[in-house]
Structure 1
Amino acid sequence: MPVVRGGPTVQRPPTLTALAVSAALLLTACGGEEDKDTERPSTPAGVTAQAGSATSVHVMWEPSSDNKAVTGYDVFQKGEKVKSVQGGRSMVDVDRLAPATAYSFTVRARDAAGNLSEPSAAISVTTPAPTPDDHGAPSRPAGLRASAEGSRAAVLTWSRSTDDVGVTAYDIYQEDSRIHSVGGGETTTRITGLRPGTIYSFTVRARDAAENSSPDSVPVDLTTGAGPDGGAGTAPTGLRATARKGGIELSWTPPDTGEPVREHQLYLNGEFATTIVWGAQPPPGTVTYTFTVMDKPGTRYSVKLRAKLPDGKWGDFSAQRTVVVTAGGA
């Protein structure tokens, strides 16, 4: 648990006693053929396959629809199932492939009743030749930019990386999760499935055929367009995280709620860490907070915040920042 060094007081979360909860799920058979789900999900469209290395391929597709719900997707290589994922996912890596070999993939959607869609159109891809002597990582992608397309999509662009052998793919991350990959010759991509009025933080890494990955690009923040109800954003903005001697310094601008924001929740590596509380009037504009870390140099932290709104609810999360602990700090 981080310890504050100066600044606001810290409200420790109370110890929670685990409660055992039991529930009975009653399933009633209605009998009758008309109640059976026999409708297939729609056929997955927009299937792409990108060789990420000499032995792996990244397969992506657009989500299917179903009269009830799509519960999963199966990926096939020339009729043989090689991967299965849950219904909320639309991408997967197929590993343990042979270098310099042609492959053909199709995708089928699945529902809870076991109905399978028709196979998607087959997509072909060839893995590159192995590069056993390639130990150097590509350079960091530079110049990452993002622009919103309405309320549910974004377009990212960046400058081409260099590598001693060759860049085979660019991996796009939203916070700490890889959400997309494109070929090594691409420097732009479109991200879909975003939420309206939400702040996102994207980074890009370059990868070569030997699976060497570059350092993260500088992150870029983007806020999607407002949903039908509009409304002001509730996420802290301008978050910066800087490694200091023995700790990490954060600075950010609280959301404009019409009233002072007195509390923020701090999350480290996706987990709640502490509540930051200003006992008196919060400082105007940009605020700062420093906490102590005890982990060894080189430890990587992901940091994000959310503010407590005047109505008592917690607002949206800020963009996430990543910081690496250094030996002497800044």
Structure 2
Amino acid sequence: MQRPTVCAVLTCSAAVLVLTAAGCAGAPPDRDTEKPTSPGGVTAQAGSATSVHVMWDRSTDNEAVAGYEVYEDGARVEAVTGERNMTDIDRLTPSTAYTFTVRARDAAGNLSAPSDAVPVTTPAPTPDDRKAPSVPGGLRGRVEGDGAVGLSWRRATDDTAVTSYDIYQEDSRIHSVRGTATTARITGLRPGTVYTFTVRARDAAENSSGDSAPLDLTTAPGRGEGPSTAPRDLRATARTKDGARGIELEWTPPRVGRGGEVREHQLFIDGELATTIVWGGDPPAGTATYHFTVGEPPGTRYSVKLRAKLPDGKWGDFSAQRTLVTR
């Protein structure tokens, strides 16, 4: 026979019920009523005739910031998670003045006071403009302190005008700056991680240039962390062998020390695990190579990256990502 719980037994009287509720459920937790701080450093930059890029400094909270809400003239137009501090507002009207504010929200639903209002005006449309800007050149960068990098590039040209530069990390746009700028600072990055940046130029008609040459930057390791375990110097080349289109990879496996060997790598294509590369014999001492065929037609774009299985059985950090188009 199952023994009844204490809460089931103590039901003799109203007085006992009160004690039961207090003893079994415990005191109700204090409700979080403290609001996050108001976001500072809000900027709004027109990226085209119909879009604006809004960015802000992160807020603080006694618990944690769960998200941010962006308002245009008092009406909420966008909401993002607490990990983000920028967003793009699309489907706007050309040649129109807008005013944006940002509020932080915690898990209890407390909203901060609105940030300072930031005005921006979208440029006039150029419906006949179908020519994309040139590709930004000379992308360079440096790691700045914990979790931040600084980027710079040469100006692109356009038959009308470059209205913005979009910064991509792998295949995701993470930041935009005005068309007169040639620098950007990216924050909120993880320690000890390889990031691959490219830059595209955009005009008021939403014509976007091709990607700049990629730039790999590795953030400093966190306290107590060892060196990066990411494969290094990844190169991806489109090649045709025996009449079949394919991609050839070359890279340097990570150093694992103490005589350990890397015998397996995982290959990710377009962000998805495609296969595991395993050497039947001894792994290569220096540069490793791998060739695989692709079935999509010529002109297909692929993004590839690797990570290694370490001697302790765990998977290491991802390599830089490489993007290419098959011929």
If the length of structure 2 is used for normalisation, what is the TM-score? 0.88
Aligned to 2:293: 292
Among 114, 117, 122, which residue is 2:117 paired with? Answer: 122
Residue deviations 1:17-37 (CA, integer Å, cap 9, x gap): xxxxxxxxxxx97665x7111
State the alpha-carbon separation in 2 of the partners of residues 237 and 168 from structure 1.
35
Q: Which runs of 4+ in 1 moved over 3 A?
A: 28-32
Equivalent pair of 1:257/1:309 in contact (CA under 8 Å): yes
Give the counterpart letter for 1:278 in structure 2: W
- Please give the residue correspondences for 1:171-250 in structure 2 after superposition, counting only pairs within 5 Å: 171-245=166-240, 246-250=245-249
Aligned to 1:79: 74
Residue deviations 1:214-239 (CA, integer Å, cap 9, x gap): 00011000111122114121000111
State the alpha-carbon separation in 2 of the partners of residues 90 and 193 from structure 1.
9
1:90 CA drift (Å): 1.6
Residue deviations 1:153-184 (CA, integer Å, cap 9, x gap): 11001110001111001111111111111000
State the alpha-carbon separation in 2 of the partners of residues 107 and 31 from structure 1.
36
- Please give the residue correspondences for 1:55-204 in structure 2 after superposition, counting only pairs within 5 Å: 55-204=50-199
State the alpha-carbon separation in 2 of the partners of residues 264 and 105 from structure 1.
46
Aligned to 2:316: 315
- Please give the residue correspondences for 1:20-31 in structure 2 after superposition, counting only pairs within 5 Å: none
Equivalent pair of 1:70/1:111 in contact (CA under 8 Å): yes
State the alpha-carbon separation in 2 of the partners of residues 119 and 45 from structure 1.
10
State the alpha-carbon separation in 2 of the partners of residues 151 and 41 from structure 1.
23
Give the counterpart letter for 2:249 in structure 1: L
State the alpha-carbon separation in 2 of the partners of residues 130 and 29 from structure 1.
62
Aligned to 1:253: 252
Aligned to 2:8: none
State the alpha-carbon separation in 2 of the partners of residues 177 and 66 from structure 1.
28
State the alpha-carbon separation in 1 of the partners of residues 25 and 131 from structure 2.
61
Residue deviations 1:109-143 (CA, integer Å, cap 9, x gap): 11222211000011111111111111001111111
State the alpha-carbon separation in 1 of the partners of residues 129 and 302 from structure 2.
29
Q: Secondary structure at the match of 1:35?
A: coil
1:103 CA drift (Å): 1.1
State the alpha-carbon separation in 1 of the partners of residues 27 and 104 from structure 2.
26
1:270 CA drift (Å): 0.6
State the alpha-carbon separation in 1 of the partners of residues 186 and 250 from structure 2.
28
User: Which structure is higher in RCO with an 8 Å CA cutoff and minimum separation 6?
Assistant: 1
State the alpha-carbon separation in 1 of the partners of residues 309 and 110 from structure 2.
45
Asked whether 1:262 is paired with 2:263, we answer: yes
Equivalent pair of 1:151/1:197 in contact (CA under 8 Å): no
Give the counterpart letter for 2:105 in structure 1: R
Query: Greater CA deviation, 82-91 or 308-317?
Result: 82-91
Asked whether 1:278 is paired with 2:294, we answer: no
Which sections of structure 1, spanning at least 5 residues, go unmatched? 1-27
State the alpha-carbon separation in 2 of the partners of residues 185 and 219 from structure 1.
21
Asked whether 1:42 is paired with 2:37, we answer: yes
State the alpha-carbon separation in 2 of the partners of residues 198 and 313 from structure 1.
16
State the alpha-carbon separation in 2 of the partners of residues 209 and 29 from structure 1.
60
Identity %: 69
State the alpha-carbon separation in 2 of the partners of residues 190 and 180 from structure 1.
9
Give the counterpart letter for 2:53 in structure 1: H
Give the counterpart letter for 1:158 in structure 2: W
If the length of structure 1 is used for normalisation, what is the TM-score? 0.87
State the alpha-carbon separation in 2 of the partners of residues 297 and 29 from structure 1.
65
Give the counterpart letter for 2:320 in structure 1: A
State the alpha-carbon separation in 2 of the partners of residues 52 and 302 from structure 1.
26
Equivalent pair of 1:41/1:70 in contact (CA under 8 Å): yes
Residue deviations 1:266-286 (CA, integer Å, cap 9, x gap): 001111111001111112211
Which sections of structure 2, spanning at least 5 residues, go unmatched? 1-23
Q: Secondary structure at the match of 1:315?
A: strand
